[in-house]
Amino acid sequence: MSSYNAPFEIHVHGQVQLRADVSFDQLQEALKPLWKYAGARSLADGAASAYEEEPGIKYDAQEHLLQMCWTVRGDEDFRQVLDEMCMSLNELAEQGAAIEVTFYDADFDEDEEEQGAESRDDFVMLFVGPTPAAIMQVQRDLLVQDVVNMMERHFDGAELGGVVAEIDKLFSQRFDALVNSLEIGKPPRGPGGGGSGSGHGGGGGRRPRHLH
């Protein structure tokens, strides 16, 4: 499909802290679904955004930081690309991170809006991280930020400790349920308390901060 008749302009925005041992070749392979979708032959070739004013895909090797402010023209099949990218970035991430993806309806115009038509715009929030706990930490922090910002219109910030505690409780329950589900699939420990260790590589780990 030509990018000129693509139904969406898709904007990917976010930054991911990578492990210090991650090489450029590893990152290029992890992001291959993105640059290949754009019709490029390498990350360097596909890092530029469809809009010149956007920085595109940048990798700060000194800070081990991946930054994305990148637009590509495409269709709904781009969602599969995002799934593949997130799976790969999970393996390289040092900590949890959020990635915002916006689908803009390229065919929708003001005349259609005036006639009561609705655009096909869509917004997706994705999360990557080395463990489920790291991902939950980012989800928790974003939710707390959103809730506090909304409620501070009516209450003083010092009054919202109970609300934050309830959010932490919900995430603690989700975390415990995840750990328990992974425990079910582990082999039983021997009489001497030995066994296979942690089992699933991205499983339990440390409980996310604030989740008491």
For the chain, give every residue range classified as CATH 3.60.90.
3-130
Q: Specify the higher pLDDT residue, 191 or 108.
A: 108
Nearest-CA neighbor of 175 among 96, 99, 98, 101? 96
pLDDT tens-place string over residues 150-194? 998 998 988 888 988 988 888 888 888 877 776 665 555 544 433
Question: What confidence tier does 210 reach under pLDDT thresholds 50, 70, 90?
Answer: low
Mean per-residue pLDDT for 49-60? 97
What pLDDT was estimated at residue 77?
96
**131: exposed, middle or buried (C-beta count within 10 Å: 0-12, 13-18, 19+)?**
buried
pLDDT band at 24 (very low <50, low <70, confident <90, very high): very high
| 141 vs 92, higher pLDDT | 92
Asked if pLDDT for residue 56 goes beyond 90, the answer is yes
State the pLDDT confidence band at 11, using cuts at 50, 70 and 90.
Answer: very high
Say which amino acid occupies 47. A
Confidence of residue 113 (pLDDT cuts 50, 70, 90): low
What is the spatial distance between Cα 149 and Cα 79, in angstroms, rounded to a whole number? Answer: 30
What pLDDT does 119 receive?
75
- Mean pLDDT (whole number) for 29-55: 97
Find out if CATH 3.60.90 is the number for domain 3-130.
yes
Q: Are strands 56-60 and 97-105 parallel, antiparallel or unpaired?
A: unpaired
Cβ(127)–Cβ(140) below 8 Å: no
The amino acid present at 103, given as its one-letter code, is F
* pLDDT of the residue at 107: 80
The pLDDT value recorded for residue 197 is 36
